[in-house]
Structure 1
Amino acid sequence: MTAKAQPRLSFLLFLCSITLICSTARPVTAGASLHAFTAGSLEKIQADYAGRPFLLVLWSLDCPPCRKELNLLGDLKKRHADFNLVLISTDAIEQSDQVSSVLASHHLANSDAWIFSETSAERLRYVIDSSWYGEMPRSYFYDPQHHRAGISGALKADRIEAWLASFKTAAAKP
């Protein structure tokens, strides 16, 4: 090999290495931005929505009724820009990419989205509600004073619409 060919070969090997690295890199997904849900996260969520009503929905990738509910919530979010929605995935943090993609596919990528990030899901469920045993979907309707009503099972659009309307009506009263 000549002295002239050696730098070219080194450069060619460098380009091949870069191409190989780039081709095996994980693609960037256009999914939801997720917050890590820990034992202190519920207090942070409540503080973030101080004085405002919000709907907190717990869901999981392996819950078929949850997927239908995400469709409903995505549609409602499009129609009601002021709908304060908090989504908490009870899946492991290692499933963040999947969770993010599912939320994006239901038009919920810009929602306030969280994912369980501690090894003890039971502990996090207890922090959310000591009387909740993990059935899903599970939702909590918070009023502006943060009194809450918990619901197990799929939500209905008319219930959410009535809940949203009750705050608009209350705000319109003198």
Structure 2
Amino acid sequence: MNTTRRCMLMLALAMHGLPALAAGDDDRVFTTESLRQIRAQHAGQPLVLHLWGMTCGPCLTELPRWAELRRQRPGLRLVLVQADQTPPRASEATLRKAGLGAVERWHVVSEMDEFLRASVDPTWHGELPRTLLIAPGGEVTRVSGVADLAQVARWLDAQAVPKR
């Protein structure tokens, strides 16, 4: 009987982990350490980190515009962080429809508390959308609300390494 219970527990734990395995690398949980990981992964390159939510009307309106900027700039390093508690699977269709299905994305699994917000930006109070433009040298430009993508494009141009 003890062996049966142990086997059932192991089976339940394995099945619980299957959705996480199926989600793959494009569906990562955002924690207080995540921004540090993202910055390390994209070190030395301009990075656009965009925080958005399924429950944020302006965020949903803005998504196709980010996809257009990405089409115009194929090398754009765009990372999306879904900052509301909507299950990531529920947002997949929205991102695909907007043209952002293949973008690196992260999501929070619990309420965006003060520690998680501070790990992203100590001046951030949780409003969405929020965009961080991170220069190759680590300098951060913060955009609260819907981003002016023409300004983002100019910022990206300014980050280009001059050719010698």
| TM value normalised by structure 1 | 0.75
2:39 maps to amino acid = Q
Q: How does 1:2-151 map to 2 (within 5 A)?
A: 33-92=26-85, 95-119=87-111, 121-151=113-143
Question: What do you get for the CA RMSD once the two structures are aligned?
Answer: 2.1
Q: Give deviations 1:102-123, integer Å, cap 9, x for gaps.
A: 1111111111100012455333
Indicate whether 1:153 and 2:145 are aligned. Answer: yes
SS at match of 1:87: strand
SS at match of 1:172: coil
Equivalent pairs, count: 142
Question: Aligned equivalents of 2:33 and 2:92: distance in 1?
Answer: 22
Q: Give deviations 1:5-48, integer Å, cap 9, x for gaps.
A: xxxxxxxxxxxxxxxxxxxxxxxxx9x93111111111100100
Q: Whose radius of gyration is greater, 1 or 2?
A: 1
Preserved contact between residue 46 and residue 77 of structure 2 (Cα < 8 Å): yes
- Structure 1: gaps of 5 or more residues: 1-29
2:72 maps to amino acid = R
| TM value normalised by structure 2 | 0.79
Distance change in 2, residues 1:142/1:72 (3 Å): same
Tell me what 2:16 maps to: none
SS at match of 2:95: helix
Preserved contact between residue 80 and residue 105 of structure 2 (Cα < 8 Å): yes
Preserved contact between residue 83 and residue 112 of structure 2 (Cα < 8 Å): no
Q: After TM superposition, which residue ranges in structure 1, 4 or more long, deviate above 6 angstroms?
A: none
Question: Aligned equivalents of 1:116 and 1:52: distance in 2?
Answer: 25
